[in-house]
Amino acid sequence: MSKGTKYTKSDFIRLVVSDLDSISSNQEQARQFLSSEGVNPDNLLSEGLKRIKKMQLQNAAKQTKADMAIAESVKDKAIHWAETLLNQASFSIREFMLKEKLSLNFRNFESLSKEDIKAILVKHFTLKLMDEDDSNTENI
């Protein structure tokens, strides 16, 4: 529209949309028009719904893949921390559990193998990191 007129482009769009709305307000007339133009409205509707469902499934798959990648990253960090702790000469599982306020239904810590301790540490750090990620997400 030119600068001299008092109507804007949005006014023009509203006018066109309101005109289209009045033309297509009768569903039966709209179906007849589409049929006369060679368009099957029922087929069009079902194809559209199929596309929407497909897109929803693709989005869900992408989200699941992203979640799995994050979980894998968290597990890798947990393994690294566990290995770092186990390689320290002064590391004691008993002291670590007291410090972290963990309870374990096991009496003889001395009989745990290095792999058992590593598995316990990996599980602990994985859960701890995931809880931190969840709390950070909630704060956003």
Residue type, 67: D
Domain count, the chain: 1
Residue 47 covered by a domain? no
Torsion of CA 89, 95, 100, 106, to 10 degrees: 110
Residue 3 covered by a domain? no
Q: Which domain holds residue 86?
A: 65-139
Does residue 99 surpass a pLDDT of 70? yes
Higher pLDDT, 31 or 107: 31
Residue 19 covered by a domain? no
56-76: pLDDT as tens digits: 999 999 999 988 888 888 888
Q: What is the mean pLDDT of residues 85-110?
A: 76
Residue 99 covered by a domain? yes
1-31: pLDDT as tens digits: 455 567 787 887 777 777 666 655 677 877 8
